[in-house]
């Protein structure tokens, strides 16, 4: 028995879980934890798992600060209460999907139980499906909301509960805050209706797959190029996740015939047995796919994360070596291809736009400007791109957009990032480039020469638990109160604080307001043209630093020679922030 003291408030919360309405197994396990593991009690009960503006995400386990059937049930009851208030006297429908995570069907079933117990019709996928297909299903089935059980690319111990509104996009104001209030008002599991109404639960599956794939096909711009380059050798891996069925199906529907699998990673598993982290941003997650590419002489490697809303790619450089592209580079290839084809087909008439987040490369804006297409810049999070799309319905057409964290969308049939269409359009871009005698890598170099050479990099610092969360907030407070004046020999001339929505010029002292909503983000701009963004992750115990440097026009004309110089600037800036 441990004698380490537990904070009285934390102990009271834990002790509540040793009584009804909690099931007997839960009660016994929490009693054991109270007796023998006070540190674990602290981590599991020191706070309530936050229902944020996107839903829930956290480590699975017992306690108020963990993902379990009770925290999921309370979140669902709160959302059900809000839906019933928002759509009175209507038949309310909600779609539910889940990825490969541990407890995926447990949490999906609890969610279906609670909604149906509240008289809401549930459309539950018959097996795991990509997050973007859930977004599509909401609009296709006329639902008022949707849920996907996923923790995206987080480590295996995590799961999550992502909430969508009737436009197929994630919650934005005022619904996000309103739902949070309703969830908080539930208070405890006693107020949750867990009794399933089977008559209100409907199974969906291949019927939605068919219309979803048809919507993807309508985004294709060069079917004739694919027809001539259909044997493009593509290695694809779902990294044990939901892309295992839909991505190969979509690529084949587009016309690609030489899709090479990675059998070890086609095993659907929330344990992610072949990787430490199922994150396509990390080179280790693509190791097996890269080995397969070398063994087969493939032209292109693509890997999707567990819920198939993000994709990482690798291409052959000018020496024939496979190299990974970062999210900004892939976004630049896609936006250039989309805009060049829209322009060639005479479809740009001043009523189109692209969208990107504030931490995504400004190269996208430069490419769009050259094609006379405006760029909408939004806060980090694809829900803000979805919001812009909704606000422009019937007025302007969304061509495409993306964010540096490997998430992209082409067209507006879905209102979240979509790795399925991204895989198809990356492959189509490769086919079109080959038609013009270029590899994807050579096309990227050509884009740099035409529009400017940008180099970006990300530094993430992890701080786990209660203490880590406090450290992250202290770091942000310090940067905010005492911003750096010099960074790696570069003079800081502007500080943009999205929390108080100000843009401060450090040279003349002027301050101007910014139009975007308040967010806990800081940006530092240097006289030499570098941009550094600092923000806490909304889904992981991390603080993130985004670094961006731009070459002069003269240096951009020789990107291969200039890249090492730019990367050295990035390294120096990272060191200035303690890397």
Tell me the catalytic residues. Answer: 152
- CA 374 → CA 266, 394, 504, distances in Å? 40, 17, 25
Closest CA to 99 of 153, 21, 53: 153
Cis peptide before 55 (omega within 30 of 0): no
* 18 touches 27 (CB < 8 A): yes
Tokens 């007025």 locate to 395
116 burial type by CB count under 10 A (0-12 exposed, 13-18 middle, 19+ buried): buried
- Angle, helices 440-451 vs 559-576, to 10°: value is 80
How far apart, in whole angstroms, are the C-alpha atoms of residue 327 and residue 247? Answer: 19
Alpha carbon dihedral 96, 201, 85, 142, in 10-degree steps, equals 60
Phi, psi (deg, nearest 5) at residue 493: -115, -15
Contacts of 456 (CB under 8 A, 6+ apart): 326, 328, 361, 404, 546, 547, 548, 549, 570
Can you tell me the distance from the alpha carbon of 449 to that of 559, in angstroms, rounded to the nearest whole number?
Answer: 7
DSSP E strands in 143-257: the ranges are 145-149, 158-165, 201-204, 234-237
Name which of 63, 59, 56 is nearest 26 in CA terms.
63
Chain CA centroid to CA 83, Å: 25
**3-class secondary structure per residue, 250-287:** HHHHHCCCCEEECHHHCCCCCCCCCCCCCCCCCHHHHH
Q: Which residues contact 59 (CB under 8 A, 6 or more apart)?
A: 66, 67, 157, 158
* Cβ atoms of residues 255 and 430 within 8 Å: no
């Amino acid at each position: 028995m441990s004698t380490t003291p537990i904070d009285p408030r934390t102990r009271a919360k834990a002790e509540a879980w040793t009584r009804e309405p909690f099931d007997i197994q839960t009660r016994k396990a929490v009693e054991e934890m109270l007796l023998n593991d006070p540190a674990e009690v602290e981590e599991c009960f020191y706070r309530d798992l936050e229902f944020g503006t996107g839903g829930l995400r956290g480590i699975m386990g017992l306690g108020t600060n963990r993902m379990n059937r009770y925290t999921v049930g309370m979140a669902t009851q709160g959302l059900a209460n809000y839906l019933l208030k928002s759509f009175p006297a209507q038949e309310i429908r909600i779609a539910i999907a889940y990825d490969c995570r541990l407890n995926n069907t447990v949490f999906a079933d609890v969610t279906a139980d609670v909604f149906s117990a509240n008289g809401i019709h549930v459309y539950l996928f018959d097996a795991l499906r990509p997050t973007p297909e859930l977004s599509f299903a909401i609009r296709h089935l006329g639902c008022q909301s949707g849920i996907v059980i996923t923790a995206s690319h987080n480590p295996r111990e995590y799961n999550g509960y992502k909430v969508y509104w009737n436009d197929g996009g994630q919650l934005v104001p005022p619904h996000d805050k309103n739902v949070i209030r309703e969830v908080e008002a539930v208070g405890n599991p006693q107020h949750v209706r867990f009794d399933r109404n089977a008559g209100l639960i409907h199974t969906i599956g291949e019927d939605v797959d068919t219309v979803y794939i048809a919507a993807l096909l309508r985004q294709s711009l060069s079917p004739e190029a694919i027809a001539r380059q259909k044997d493009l050798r593509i290695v694809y891996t779902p990294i044990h996740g939901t892309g295992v069925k839909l991505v190969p199906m979509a690529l084949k529907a587009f016309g690609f015939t030489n899709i090479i699998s990675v059998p070890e990673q086609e095993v659907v598993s929330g344990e992610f047995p072949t990787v430490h982290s199922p994150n396509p941003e990390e080179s280790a997650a693509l190791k097996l796919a890269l080995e397969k590419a070398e063994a087969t002489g493939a032209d292109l490697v693509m890997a999707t994360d567990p819920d198939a809303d993000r994709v990482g790619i690798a291409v052959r450089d000018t020496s024939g070596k496979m190299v990974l592209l970062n999210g900004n580079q892939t976004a630049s290839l896609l936006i250039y291809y989309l805009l060049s084809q829209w322009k060639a087909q005479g479809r740009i008439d001043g009523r189109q736009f692209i969208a990107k987040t504030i931490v995504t490369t400004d190269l996208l804006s430069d490419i769009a400007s050259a094609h006379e297409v405006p760029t909408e810049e939004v806060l980090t999070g694809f829900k803000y791109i979805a919001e812009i799309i909704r606000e422009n319905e019937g007025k302007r057409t969304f061509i495409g957009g993306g964010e540096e964290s490997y998430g992209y969308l082409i067209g507006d049939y879905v209102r979240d990032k979509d790795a399925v269409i991204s895989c198809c359009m990356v492959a189509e871009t490769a086919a079109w480039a080959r038609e013009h005698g270029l590899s994807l890598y050579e096309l990227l170099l050509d884009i740099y020469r035409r529009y400017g050479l940008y180099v970006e990099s990300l530094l993430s610092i992890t701080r786990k638990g209660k203490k880590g969360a406090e450290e992250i907030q202290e770091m942000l407070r310090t940067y905010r109160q005492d911003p750096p004046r010099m960074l790696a020999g570069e003079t800081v001339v502007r500080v943009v604080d999205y929390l108080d929505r100000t843009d401060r010029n450090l040279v003349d002292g002027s301050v101007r307001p910014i139009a975007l909503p308040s967010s806990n983000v800081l940006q530092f701009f240097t006289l030499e043209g570098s941009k550094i963004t600092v923000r806490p992750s909304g889904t992981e115990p991390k603080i993130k630093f985004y670094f961006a440097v731009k070459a002069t026009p003269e240096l951009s004309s020789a990107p291969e020679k200039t890249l090492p110089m730019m990367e050295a600037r990035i390294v120096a800036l990272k060191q200035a922030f303690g890397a």
